[in-house]
Chain A
Amino acid sequence: MGSSESAAGRNRCLTGIDGLDNILYGGLPRNNAILVTGSCGTGKTSMSLEFLLHGAEEGEMGIFVAATEPPEKLKENMMPYDFYDPQMLEKKQILFIDLHELYKKAKTEAPEIDQKGSEALIKAIVGAVRSHGAKRLVIDSITSICARLLTADLIREFIRGLSHALAQEGCTALLIAEVPAGEHRYSPYGVEEAVVDGVILLGNLERQGDLLRTLQVVKMRGTTHSRAKYILDLTSVGVLLAPLLKGGG
């Protein structure tokens, strides 16, 4: 597809999720690091896998750094999608890396990571991105890394350093954050959302006894975007979005 070569294509990274690209008036600003945040089961992992699948369709290599779920299970999650093609994995257009391998590489296996360790971990992540020429990166989750960084300052420095280095590599990143259900905040440590370029909030909405999944783009540097809340559906044709009906409520 020619979209990657157009002017918009150079500046924008199409998620391939039509609804989301429309909300963003043409995709994620390229080289941004975006926090995808929400409580469990809201669709963070599914949406991020789809981001990589559509990237592979466009010839953009993608890396998925997995901390919580084994790569085998994640691969299985991709298979039901109509646009999944086994070649994407065989030809390493999508690569799964276990976060613990990166910890090993950075010598940060200990449960606590200091300033030096944080820099080494950034190096290990960016090294993987560079060596594979990845244009898209998912870290699922950034929260599991933050849990090892002892202070808010360390977390801030880590995310800032990582986003900066990824931008220089020409890589657009989704950093997944896990917030406990029912808590009205964007990240567990409260500093992540300030340093990233964008925040996409996934959630649940209960309305007259109906439980709905929602998506809201809270912030996105480098583009105007809708701030409205959307209803989200996870399907085998991917994430589908519809505006939340207001109905005067």
Chain B
Amino acid sequence: MEATATGVQKLLEIPPASAIALEMTAEHYFDAVQGILDVFAPQKKLDAVYVTATIPSKSIIGALTTLEVDLTRTRFVDCVSRMTMGASERDDRAVYVESPTMLETVLLKVEFLLRKLGGAEAVVVLDSINSLAIHNSPRVLSEFLLMLTNHLRARGAYTFIFSMEEYASEEIANILNLVTDDVVRFEGP
């Protein structure tokens, strides 16, 4: 698949029920997060579920709150903060998965949050395939991503899978080609 350079405006043209790999460098990471949660989702009136296996949801929520991004329709599946975290540190907008190896649980938490948000159209972000690849074999990972993208397509939801160029590998490229409709280079904002 050809990678096409793009910012968030370009993402807005993508039709619903698409699963897209967003290839980016660390430099554009936060543009992508903000672009999806602050521009893409509100413009399309979507609920958003953000799965983080990279940095704690608390950090993402903190950064977005500083920028006054409205997170009322955004929820987080947090695979990094673990259960060891104190109850007081927890955020009502996040559910916590004990380990990034519990991929079925990730799937169930995404479904749980989509239902809790009320069943509107939705966008699901997976941050990132590289983080998940550290903890899971390529085979398990592609099985999980196939299941996730098929489920979300059937729901008419958008799926964005982050792929960090710094950690790119042929294996990851193969998985993304298998499970997504398109690989898009994100050079936002």
Q: Which of A210, A231, A246 contacts B99 (CB 8 A)?
A: A210
Asked if B102 and A210 make an inter-chain contact with CB atoms under 8 angstroms apart, the answer reads yes
**Alpha-carbon separation in the docked complex, A10 to B115 (Å):** 28
Q: Which of A208, A212, A236, A248 contacts B104 (CB 8 A)?
A: A212
The answer to whether residues A233 and B105 also contact, given A240-B112, A242-B147 and a CB cut-off of 8 A, is yes
The answer to whether residues A233 and B101 also contact, given A247-B137, A248-B137 and a CB cut-off of 8 A, is no
Q: Which of A212, A233, A241, A246 contacts B143 (CB 8 A)?
A: A246
What band does the interface of chain B fall in when counting residues whose beta carbon is under 8 Å from A?
20 to 34
Instruction: Please give me the residue from chain B that is nearest to A241 by CB atom.
Output: B108
Asked if B98 and A245 make an inter-chain contact with CB atoms under 8 angstroms apart, the answer reads no
Question: What 0/1 pattern do residues 76 to 118 of B give for CB contact below 8 A with A?
Answer: 0000000000000000000000110111110111011001100
Residue B139 at the A interface, CB < 8 A?
A: yes
Residues 121 to 172 of chain A near chain B (Cβ within 8 Å):
none
- The secondary structure that dominates the B interface is helix
Residue B63 at the A interface, CB < 8 A?
A: no
Contacts of A237 in B (CB 8 A): 112, 115-116
Residue B55 at the A interface, CB < 8 A?
A: no
Q: Which of B101, B108, B139 contacts A210 (CB 8 A)?
A: B101
The answer to whether residues A245 and B143 also contact, given A208-B101, A233-B105 and a CB cut-off of 8 A, is yes
**Alpha-carbon separation in the docked complex, A247 to B138 (Å):** 9
Residue A235 at the B interface, CB < 8 A?
A: yes
Instruction: Please give me the residue from chain A that is nearest to B143 by CB atom.
Output: A245
Asked if A231 and B104 make an inter-chain contact with CB atoms under 8 angstroms apart, the answer reads yes
Q: Closest approach, in angstroms, between the C-beta of A101 and any C-beta of chain B?
A: 37
**Alpha-carbon separation in the docked complex, A244 to B136 (Å):** 14
Asked if B143 and A247 make an inter-chain contact with CB atoms under 8 angstroms apart, the answer reads yes
Asked if A242 and B107 make an inter-chain contact with CB atoms under 8 angstroms apart, the answer reads yes
Residue A243 at the B interface, CB < 8 A?
A: yes
Asked if A233 and B112 make an inter-chain contact with CB atoms under 8 angstroms apart, the answer reads yes
Contacts of B137 in A (CB 8 A): 247-248
Asked if A231 and B101 make an inter-chain contact with CB atoms under 8 angstroms apart, the answer reads no
Residues 216 to 249 of chain A near chain B (Cβ within 8 Å):
231, 233, 235-237, 240-248
Asked if B111 and A247 make an inter-chain contact with CB atoms under 8 angstroms apart, the answer reads no
Instruction: Please give me the residue from chain A that is nearest to B95 by CB atom.
Output: A235
Residue B12 at the A interface, CB < 8 A?
A: no
Q: Could you jot down 23 A-B contacts, CB within 8 Å? A: A207-B101, A209-B99, A210-B98, A210-B102, A212-B102, A233-B105, A233-B108, A233-B109, A235-B112, A240-B112, A241-B108, A242-B104, A242-B105, A242-B111, A242-B147, A243-B104, A243-B147, A244-B104, A245-B144, A247-B136, A248-B137, A248-B139, A248-B140
Interface residues of B (CB under 8 A from A): 98-99, 101-105, 107-109, 111-112, 115-116, 136-137, 139-140, 143-144, 147
